[in-house]
Amino acid sequence: MKLAPVDFTNYKKAIKMQKEIFPEEDGTINILASLDRDLFMQKTGLFYEDDHVKYYIAYHKDEAVGITGLYYYNNDRESAWLAWFGVLPDKRRKHYGERIIAQTIEIAKQKGFNVIRLYTDAISNATAIKLYEKLGFVGEKYSAEELPYDCYIYSKSLHGEKVQLWNNKMLDLAFQSELENVPKDKIKEILKSYEQQNKNNI
């Protein structure tokens, strides 16, 4: 398994994969912002919190099988957060998910984090939750803000100690939901501006 960073050469592929994996959600804005936050805000007029996010396409024998990502908050340098992790529908049930998370955890360790965390919908992502629990993640209900889904946070220590739970601290996940609901016409406009940016850089 190899994780290739998402950059200006492969971001369209990452967006296409994200839409296949999460057909009910749109992470286009997140992926574009990860390429260059300042450029993103300049071109879109949208604010994007500086969460230092980086996405990766997962390959098995040169074949793309899934995506993953990591980010962190400036006020918590101990915790890495898993972003948009998923396996393509036709590649599931082949243990790629476990391998992608294992590789993502290694990156988090190399970057000096002590804990890896994620948030998820306990109802729509029940299958993924079984995988997280199998890999040693510990779940807790998140209720610090009102959300349109049943949110849980899962945490795992990266160094074998007992994991320190998140304890319902505010995450402002409502802002993330707003980014996922940017109008499709606006997203198309943003994508065109990025394509032009790439042409200008060639």
Please report the domains of the chain, with CATH numbers, ordered by start residue: 2-193 (3.40.630.30)
Asked if pLDDT for residue 200 goes beyond 70, the answer is no
Banded pLDDT at 202 (limits 50, 70, 90)? very low
pLDDT (mean) for 49-78? 95
H helices of the chain, where? 11-21, 28-35, 37-44, 96-110, 126-134, 173-179, 184-201
Tokens of 90: 């036709």
Per-residue pLDDT at 172: 87
* Residue given tokens 């749109």 in the structure block: 26
Q: Nearest 5°: phi and psi at 16?
A: -60, -45
Choose the weakest-confidence range: 21-25, 163-167, 175-179, 189-193. 175-179
Asked if pLDDT for residue 106 goes beyond 60, the answer is yes
Asked if pLDDT for residue 189 goes beyond 50, the answer is yes
Average pLDDT for the chain: 92
Phi-psi domain of 136 (left: phi exceeds 0; alpha: psi -120 through 50; beta: other) = left
**Which of the two residues, 44 and 135, has the higher pLDDT score?**
135
Per-residue pLDDT at 199: 64
Q: Is the pTM of this model over 0.85?
A: yes
Residue pLDDT, tens place only, 75-93: 899 999 999 999 999 999 9
